[in-house]
Amino acid sequence: MTDQIPLVRNRRPREPGYLLATYYLEPRGISVTRFAQAAGLTRKHVSNIIHGHASVTPETAVRFALVLGTEPHYWLNLQNAVDLFDARQRVQSNPTLEVGAFALPAAE
């Protein structure tokens, strides 16, 4: 059944906050405080997102998109990639997991 598993990343994707800081704020000289103000968020919350201590929620994604001229799905997809990677790491390390126990047979 392993031939049907989609490509799985070997390393953890970057958090959306890292990309926010590296590609949107720092190159433009925008401070975390100023960005937070424009997005209607606290500086602490934006800082927590940048440092990977908080996740991007759908509401936060909408705020980022409106302020930066991007799409909310961009930010949510980045967060989902990180969350899915972390979940796979946790679940796959569970020794009681019966992988493929009820999988349908492969179509020929």
Per-residue pLDDT of 4-15, as tens digits, reads: 555 666 899 999
Closest CA to 98 of 33, 1, 11: 1
State how far the Cα of 11 lies from the Cα of 95, in Å rounded to an integer. Answer: 21
Helix 72-92 and helix 58-68, axial crossing angle in degrees, nearest 10: 140
Whole-model pTM: value is 0.84
Task: State the average pLDDT over residues 36-50.
Answer: 98
Q: How many CA atoms lie within 13 A of 97 on its CB side?
A: 10
Helix 43-50 and helix 32-39, axial crossing angle in degrees, nearest 10: 110
The C-alpha angle 28, 44, 55, rounded to 5 degrees, equals: 85
Closest CA to 77 of 21, 26, 38, 19: 19
Task: State the average pLDDT over residues 17-32.
Answer: 98
State how far the Cα of 102 lies from the Cα of 73, in Å rounded to an integer. Answer: 33
Go through the domains of the chain in sequence order and give each one's CATH number. 14-91 (1.10.260.40)
Q: What would the pLDDT profile of 46-101 be if each residue is shown by its tens digit?
A: 999 999 999 999 999 999 999 999 999 999 999 999 999 999 999 988 889 888 88
pLDDT at 10: 87
pLDDT at 97: 87
Q: Is the pLDDT of residue 33 over 60?
A: yes
